[in-house]
Amino acid sequence: MWAASDEALLAGLATGDAEAIAAFVRRFQRRVFGLALVIVGDPGAAEDVAQETFARAWRHAQAYDVRRGPVAAWLLAITRNLAIDATRLRRAEPKDPEEILALGLPEQGAGPDERAMIGDDVARLKRAIMELPIDQRRALVLAAFYGRTAREISDSEHVPLGTAKTRIRAAMLKLRSSFGVKGERTDLR
Amino acid sequence: MNGPTCDEVRELAPELALGIAAGEERARALAHIATCTECRTLVDELSREADSLLQLAPQKEPPIGFEARAVRRVGGIRPRHRLRVAAAVASIVLVSVGLTALVTESATRRDRDLANRYLALLEGRSSGELFATPLLTADGARAGQVFAYEGTSNWIFIVVQARSGRGVHDVVFTPRTLAASSTAGRIRLVDGRGSWGSTTGLDLRGLHVQLFDDKGKPDFEAILPLH
């Protein structure tokens, strides 16, 4: 079955046409709501975040640049930032990092089109994360999903600040090498 | 104070990419990557990696009715059918005529007085906010005004009153929060004079407005206020 690309759906969203908006929302709503719920922990607050994500996406659709990454990653980054703001307002505590990763691959429950579009990259990414030492994995999830700083991770994990920074950096370095180094000159040392 | 070295910035690059670097350390590193291509490339790559991690979040079916509410929310912040589009266009034309007339006679008036008159002009049309900011030449000389209205339908109106300038210029918008620019339209200048207006879906706060000549040179620019 033919399906429009994410970029095409985003272009449709930018037009403001009701059917195009609905198609865009339908494509991404499970991912956006799922991420919002993981971060804010409350379904009502998660819906607010998810709704605002789509409104922001519409407002910025014309400025989306494909060189900066796929539509899904761009949209989820908007979701993350809104959700982190919401958790700060609500003073919500982060879910245990291991719980996020234990909840299963994101394609569970998705339709066949969605599964095909998410592709193997996410599965590979998850495998790479699960191969990280648990301390590094926890630090990475706290930083990437909850926006926790190295200082906050140091406090919550009861380790020195330098250790928290090292865990974050080591995790990112390993993930990067898992997906291939793109250029010697920009390598982390 | 000297800026950080490339090694120091690379050390901090993962935290920059994850958006968790803080304060002075972050500011100094960002100043460095603004001028260092290699460090900027590294941070860009790591940022894409950090963004891709978010796809690991488990998907979850949203509550019943979510899609309809989302469509209403997006649809509710812009005109949804021709009648509303026509109303918005008519509003722009009316306001534009008024703004042009006001700008023409405003050379000696203070901006605050002028802004009050624009607000009066808009009174009753909507509860949105009106911004007015100077349009400047490349060397900082005043060359007109940019008016922006933030409401149910955002719009921008540019009035160029420069000492010189001719030909077609591209109107380019760069939102504050996004690096990508987009061409919104074209403005024709005759003896330094011209005007242009349009509705826009972009966030107006901090929006960078530039007018490029036919050789791609930015002749005029304005940055809309953040507040």
Average pLDDT, chain A: 80
**Residue B105, min C-alpha distance to chain A (Å):** 35
Which helix (H) or strand (E) element contains residue A139? Answer: helix A134-146
pLDDT in tens, A102-127: 655 444 444 454 455 455 677 788 88
Between vectors from CA A180 to CA A174 and to CA A186, what angle results, nearest 5°?
A: 80
Q: Is-same-fold flag (A1-92; A96-189)?
A: no
* A37 with B60: Cβ contact below 8 A: yes
**Mind listing the pLDDT tens digit for each residue in A128-155?**
888 899 999 999 999 999 989 999 999 9
Contact check, Cβ <8 Å, A74/B51 = yes
CATH number of the A96-189 domain: 1.10.10.10
Q: CATH code for A1-92?
A: 1.10.1740.10
Q: How confident is the model over A26-47, as a mean pLDDT?
A: 92
Residue B165 within a domain = yes
The answer on pLDDT for A160 being more than 80 is yes
The mean-pLDDT minimum among A44-48, A129-133, A179-183 falls in A179-183
Residue B84 has pLDDT above 60, yes or no: no
- The residue among A186, A187, A188, A189 with the most chain B CBs within 10 A of its CB, best to mutate, is A186
B67 lies in some domain: no
In a domain, B43, yes or no: yes
Residues B52 and B91 in one domain: no
Domain contains B179: yes
* pLDDT band of A1, cuts 50, 70, 90: very low
Give the start-to-end residue ranges of the domains of chain A. Answer: 1-92, 96-189
- Taking alpha carbons only, the member of B128, B2, B45 closest to residue A185 is B45
- Final residue of a domain: which of B56, B76, B98? B56
Structural domains of chain B, count: 2
User: What confidence score (pLDDT) does residue A92 get?
Assistant: 63
**Nearest CB to A150; choose among B15, B17, B56:** B15
pTM over 0.95: no
- Average of pLDDT values for A42-47? 92
Is B74 inside any structural domain? no
State the pLDDT confidence band at A43, using cuts at 50, 70 and 90: very high
Q: pLDDT tens, B139-189?
A: 777 888 888 888 777 889 999 988 777 888 889 888 876 656 788 888 988
Based on the domain organization, do B201 and B109 belong to the same domain?
yes
Give the pLDDT score at A140. Answer: 94
B67 touches chain A (CB under 8 A): yes
pLDDT of residue B1: 55
Q: Is B108 part of a structural domain of the chain? A: yes
Per-residue DSSP letters for chain B?
Answer: -PPPPHHHHHHHHHHHHHT---HHHHHHHHHHHTT-HHHHHHHHHHHHHHHHHGGGSPP-PPPTTHHHHHHHHHHTTS--SHHHHHHHHHHHHHHHHHHHHHHHT-TTS-HHHHHHHHHHHHTTT-S-EEEEEEEEETTS-EEEEEEEEESSS-EEEEEEE-SS--EEEEEEEE-TT-S--EEEEEEEEBTTEEEEEEE--S--TT-EEEEE-TTS-EEEEEE----
Region B22-48 average pLDDT? 86
Residue A56 predicted with pLDDT over 90: no
- Inside any domain, residue B197: yes
Residue A60 CB-density burial (10 A; 0-12 exposed, 13-18 middle, 19+ buried)? buried
What's the mean pLDDT in A66-85? 86
Nearest CA in chain A to B7: A189
Domain CATH code at residue B105: 2.60.40
pLDDT, tens digit, for every residue of B105-152?
Answer: 444 445 555 555 555 555 444 445 777 788 888 777 788 888 888 877
Residue B66 in any domain: the answer is no
Residue range of the domain that includes B48: 6-56
